[in-house]
């Protein structure tokens, strides 16, 4: 299935393809503050539908995950990185997807503070 998503103001819009079977709630210092619910997909399943001019990037700690945010409204709809096998991945904040019933999504809790 293909899902559409965006930041609050719409300057970042994207499509993502895959089976949304669950999401991860991480308690690391940034995810906890943002309230992200993350769905991991191969990077080539994610397509930015806007120019990317308003996309900011934030990295911290080991600087391996590129946390993307809108420079206008501040919403963080996705991040980019690699999985443990070295595959390029996108971490989609499902709170930014259109038409999703968040109560119907299986949420797995992950302790990112232990990493």
Q: Is the pLDDT of residue 113 over 80?
A: no
* pTM of the complete model: 0.93
Condensed to tens digits (0 to 9), the pLDDT of residues 24-63 reads: 999 888 889 999 999 999 999 999 999 999 999 999 888 8
Spatial distance between the Cα atoms of 75 and 21, rounded to a whole number of angstroms: 23
Q: Which contiguous run of DSSP H or E holds residue 8?
A: none
Q: How far is CA 49 from the centre of its chain?
A: 15
Q: Residue 106 has what DSSP assignment?
A: -
Residue 63, pLDDT score: 85
pLDDT of residue 12: 97
Q: Give the residue-averaged pLDDT of 75-84.
A: 96
Q: What is the pairing mode between strands 46-48 and 38-42?
A: unpaired
- Give residue 33's Cα distance to chain centre: 14
The domain total for the chain is 1
CATH number of the domain at 91, please. Answer: 2.170.150.70
The answer for residues whose C-beta is within 8 angstroms of residue 100's C-beta and 6 or more apart is 3, 20, 94
* Per-residue pLDDT band at 115 (split at 50, 70, 90): low
Q: Which domain holds residue 10?
A: 2-114
């Amino acid at each position: 299935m293909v899902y559409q998503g965006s930041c609050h103001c719409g300057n970042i819009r994207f499509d993502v393809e895959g089976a949304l079977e669950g999401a991860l709630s991480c308690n690391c210092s940034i995810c906890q503050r943002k309230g992200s619910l993350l769905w991991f997909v191969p990077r080539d399943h994610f397509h930015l539908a806007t120019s990317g001019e308003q996309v900011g990037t934030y990295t911290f700690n080991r600087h391996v995950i590129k946390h993307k945010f809108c420079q206008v409204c501040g919403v963080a709809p996705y991040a980019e990185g690699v999985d443990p096998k070295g595959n390029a991945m996108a971490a989609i904040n499902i709170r930014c997807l259109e038409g999703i019933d968040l109560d119907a999504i299986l949420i797995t809790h992950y302790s990112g503070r232990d990493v």
